[in-house]
Amino acid sequence: MSVRVLTGGLQTTVQDLGRSGHQSQGVPVGGAMDRTALRLANIVVGNDESDAALEASLIGPALVFDHETLISLAGGDLEATVDGLTVPVWHAIWVPAGATLRFGRPRVGCRAYVAVAGGIDVPPVFGSRSTYLRARFGGHEGRALKPGDVLPLGRPSAHAQRIARELRSDAGKATAARWSVTTLLRPRYSDEVAVRLVAGAHTGALSAASRDALGGATFRVSSSSDRMGYRLEGATLSLRQPMELLSEGVVFGTVQLPPGGSPIVLMADAQTTGGYPRVGEVASVDLPLVAQLKPGDRLRFRLVSLEDAQALYLARETDIAQARTAIALRYSRGQT
Amino acid sequence: MRFTPLGDRALTITLGDAIDEPTHRRVRAAVALIDARRPAGVVDLVPAFASVTVHYDPARVAGDENEPPYDRIVATLDPLLSGVGTNTLPPARLVEIPVCYGGELGPDLAGVARHHDLSPQEVVDLHAGAEYLVYMVGFMPGFAYMGGLPPRIATPRRGTPRTAVPAGTVGIGGQQTGVYPLESPGGWNLIGRTPLRIFDIDRDEPILLVTGDRARFVPITQREFERWPNRA
């Protein structure tokens, strides 16, 4: 079982939930930018949440499925079609052998996740199949996909096989399941978002005006933004007095303040340590909203307490677990 | 010792405020103490110059679920760390790193020498004569920040960083020295290059230097560099 790449798109990479346990060696966590989308894409095709899928950015790839299989799309809406027919985001989709998945223009967000039953089965590196472009390892040969690549697939789960049986059409046309990820679980992507932020180690060192700007100003995502970090334009922030800091750990979501005053939100491929002041960390539940922003899109921060951010985190984990259980129950006894 | 939240799924334990060996030993001691017990929910530990960052999963932290996960993980870690400073650390390894100094492989050697009013050979003798300590690994896979540079060759970073420094290049940045494991942009003064692969994904242990290692640089000739077996 495999997926053939006709065109790679702008930057399509194999991603999972990243690699932990190696940050002390300077190895970034990496993984999907929009982890909620990746997890839900996997859940609807009966995969483990941590299986590897494809992350397409802005301009999606063209992919051929050599065998009939079950796929799903999640995250941004990049106008996906299978053999010319529009297919929905957040649903399981059965595709016939030889079907071609293509993308159009980004309608909502900018990153689409394509999960395939069985997961993309490239060899794990440091315990993860995620592509780390900067050091050229993980994923498919450590790089973005290009024409002619062939990606191996894992074995679909029993759930996936039951879902596929239910959707298989004799007419040989791609068929989406009527059920989907509940709208409550889908992040509310937009090109202008309010993002919850937990105060960081150096938020208190900002000047009074900058503290106000951090919690109220509208920032624009600059064109020099990538999987490692988003540079924000608009308001510049300053400290009451300059600080000399020793490098220490940072996370996906840390908002760093380099000397120029334009904040940088560290993203999935964030380095393990950093030496700039940290003026906040984006609440984990809102990282998908940031991950789907394109250059030129806007965001505002809204300061929330750590306690609130963690309560949101726990509530979302419960919701995702429920979605997983609901699908498992529906297909556990082979009912159709 | 001070705990600071780093967002909703990590925290930083501050163990000092300077780059020195006593602080470094406390950092390594803290990592060893947490590693030995691996409390529920801890997913990664990142030692730095004077702190340890603990990455955790708020949904998997032990304790009373009516309490916020942060409070619970701090309540778990705090007593574990009461022994910092008294526990024994594993012995340090000594890693020798062959370096071909100067020339095309170390384009800033002459500049560093001029900056200090030394000859290039004196810079090499000082750099290769010292024993270094890996304080932390960060910035990129396998990049070891080494302290112990003789103050006479401490040199400020370049005003304009280079866009591409080749893998294996040995640099001086302020009071530290290090080896670039991968080609990357870099602002340090480049004084030589090692034929060793500092980061090699195909090796059992891809990373050559880890926090707490001791290291020495051993000068080699250009000819030795070129003929080094399995050169990077």
Residues A220-229: what's their mean pLDDT?
94
SS3 sequence of chain B: CEEEECCCCEEEEECCCCCCHHHHHHHHHHHHHHHHHCCCCEEEEEECCCEEEEEECHHHCCCCCCCCHHHHHHHHHHHHHHHCCCCCCCCCCEEEEEEEECHHHCCCHHHHHHHHCCCHHHHHHHHHHCCEEEEEECCCCCCEEEECCCHHHCECCCCCCEEEECCCEEEEEECEEEECCCCEEECCEEEEECCCCCECCCCCCCECCCCCCEEEEEECCHHHHHCCCCCC
A313 has pLDDT over 50: yes
One domain for residues A137 and A206? no
Q: CB distance from B183 to chain A under 8 Å? A: no
Name chain B contacts of A273, Cβ cutoff 8 Å. 46, 48, 53, 136, 138-139
Architecture of domain B2-83: 2-Layer Sandwich (3.30)
Whether residue A312 is contained in a domain is answered as no
Contact A297, B164 (CB under 8 A): no
One domain for residues A168 and A281? no
Q: Which residue of A has its CA nearest to B209?
A: A25
Q: CB distance from B41 to chain A under 8 Å? A: no
Q: Which residue of A has its CA nearest to B68?
A: A307
pLDDT given at position B201: 87
Q: CB distance from A313 to chain B under 8 Å? A: yes
Which residue intervals of chain B bear CATH 2.40.100.10?
94-226
Name chain B contacts of A317, Cβ cutoff 8 Å. 59
Residue matched to tokens 């483990």: A48
Closest approach of B23 to chain A, Cα-based (Å): 12
Q: CB distance from A238 to chain B under 8 Å? A: no
One domain for residues A30 and A166? yes
A336 has pLDDT over 50: no
Residue window 129-148, chain B: list those with CB within 8 Å of chain A: 136-143, 145
Looking at the 3D structure of chain A, how many domains does it have? 2
Q: CB distance from A244 to chain B under 8 Å? A: no
pLDDT given at position B84: 87
SS3 sequence of B54-103: EEECHHHCCCCCCCCHHHHHHHHHHHHHHHCCCCCCCCCCEEEEEEEECH
Q: Do B7 and A317 touch (CB under 8 A)?
A: no
Name the band, by pLDDT with cuts 50, 70 and 90, for residue B232.
confident
Q: Which residue of B has its CA nearest to A125?
A: B201
Q: List the one residue out of B72, B49, B88 whose CA is nearest residue B3.
A: B72
Q: CB distance from B201 to chain A under 8 Å? A: yes
DSSP characters over A120-178: B-PPPBTTB---BGGGTBSTTTTS---TT-EEEB-PPPHHHHHHHHHH--TT---EE-S
Residue window 273-302, chain A: list those with CB within 8 Å of chain B: 273, 278, 281-284
CA dist B167 → B57, B130, B146, B184, B192 (Å): 35, 23, 17, 8, 11
pLDDT given at position A333: 63
Q: Do A283 and B8 touch (CB under 8 A)?
A: yes
Instruction: Please report the sign of the dihedral spanned by the C-alpha atoms of residue A294, residue A299, residue A301, residue A306.
Output: negative
Q: Which residue of B has its CA nearest to A142?
A: B201
Collapsing DSSP to helix, strand or coil, A55 comes out as strand
Which residue intervals of chain B bear CATH 3.30.1360.40?
2-83
Q: Do B140 and A198 touch (CB under 8 A)?
A: no
Residues A260-271: what's their mean pLDDT?
95
Q: CB distance from B202 to chain A under 8 Å? A: no
Residues A63-77: what's their mean pLDDT?
97
Distance CA B107, CA A235 (A): 40
pLDDT given at position B202: 86
How do residues A12-62 score in pLDDT, each as one tens digit? Answer: 999 999 999 999 999 999 999 999 999 999 999 999 999 999 999 999 999
Q: Do B70 and A281 touch (CB under 8 A)?
A: no
- Assigned token pair, B179: 């080896």
B85 has pLDDT over 80: no
Best of A132, A306, A310, A322 to mutate (most B CBs within 10 Å, chain B): A310
Residues B13-28: what's their mean pLDDT?
94
Q: Do B68 and A246 touch (CB under 8 A)?
A: no
Q: Where are the alpha helices (DSSP H) in A158-264?
A: 158-167, 208-216
A224 has pLDDT over 90: no
Cβ pairs bridging A and B (under 8 Å):
141
Q: Cα–Cα–Cα angle for B59, B62, B65, nearest 5°?
A: 70
One domain for residues A182 and A230? no
Name chain B contacts of A125, Cβ cutoff 8 Å. 201
How do residues B181-227 score in pLDDT, each as one tens digit? Answer: 999 888 899 999 999 999 998 888 899 999 999 999 999 999 999 99
Q: CB distance from B58 to chain A under 8 Å? A: yes
How do residues B136-177 score in pLDDT, each as one tens digit? Answer: 999 899 999 999 999 999 999 887 889 899 999 999 998 899
Q: List the one residue out of B56, B99, B230, B206 whose CA is nearest residue B143.
A: B206
One domain for residues A42 and A85? yes
One domain for residues A156 and A198? no
Strands B214-219 and B94-101: parallel
Closest approach of A308 to chain B, Cα-based (Å): 9
Closest approach of A275 to chain B, Cα-based (Å): 10
Instruction: Please report the sign of the dihedral spanned by the C-alpha atoms of residue A199, residue B52, residue B177, residue B17.
Output: positive
Whether residue A322 is contained in a domain is answered as no
Whether residue A271 is contained in a domain is answered as yes
- Assigned token pair, B109: 């050697």
B35 has pLDDT over 70: yes
Closest approach of B48 to chain A, Cα-based (Å): 5
Lowest average pLDDT, out of A56-60, A240-244, B117-121, B152-156, goes to A240-244
How do residues A297-309 score in pLDDT, each as one tens digit? Answer: 999 999 999 999 9
Q: Do B210 and A309 touch (CB under 8 A)?
A: no
One domain for residues A115 and A208? no
Whether residue A235 is contained in a domain is answered as yes
One domain for residues A49 and A182? yes
Q: CB distance from B43 to chain A under 8 Å? A: yes
Q: Phi/psi class of residue A79: alpha, beta or left (left: φ > 0; alpha: ψ in -120 to 50)? A: left
Q: Which residue of A has its CA nearest to B204?
A: A126
pLDDT given at position A328: 86
Whether residue A325 is contained in a domain is answered as no
CATH class of B94-226: mainly beta
From the list B19, B59, B136, the residue facing A273 with the nearest CB is B136
Contact B174, B155 (CB under 8 A): yes
One domain for residues A13 and A77? yes
One domain for residues A136 and A256? no
One domain for residues A224 and A179? no
From the list A273, A307, A309, the residue facing B139 with the nearest CB is A273
**Containing structural domain, residue A98:** 2-188
Whether residue A310 is contained in a domain is answered as no
The phi and psi torsions of B190 (rounded to 5 degrees) equal -95, 115
| Mean predicted lDDT score pLDDT of chain A | 95
Which amino acid is residue A323, in one-letter code?
Answer: A
Whether residue A311 is contained in a domain is answered as no
Q: Which helix (H) or strand (E) holds A303?
A: strand A298-304
Q: Cα–Cα–Cα angle for B186, B190, B194, nearest 5°?
A: 105
One domain for residues A215 and A167? no
From the list B46, B199, B210, the residue facing A23 with the nearest CB is B46
Q: CB distance from A310 to chain B under 8 Å? A: yes
Name chain A contacts of B44, Cβ cutoff 8 Å. 20-24, 29
Task: Using the 3D structure, point to which of A128, A162, A188 is the last residue of a domain.
Answer: A188
Q: CB distance from B159 to chain A under 8 Å? A: no
Whichever domain contains A229, its CATH number is 2.40.100.10
Best of B4, B6, B8 to mutate (most A CBs within 10 Å, chain A): B8
Whether residue A335 is contained in a domain is answered as no
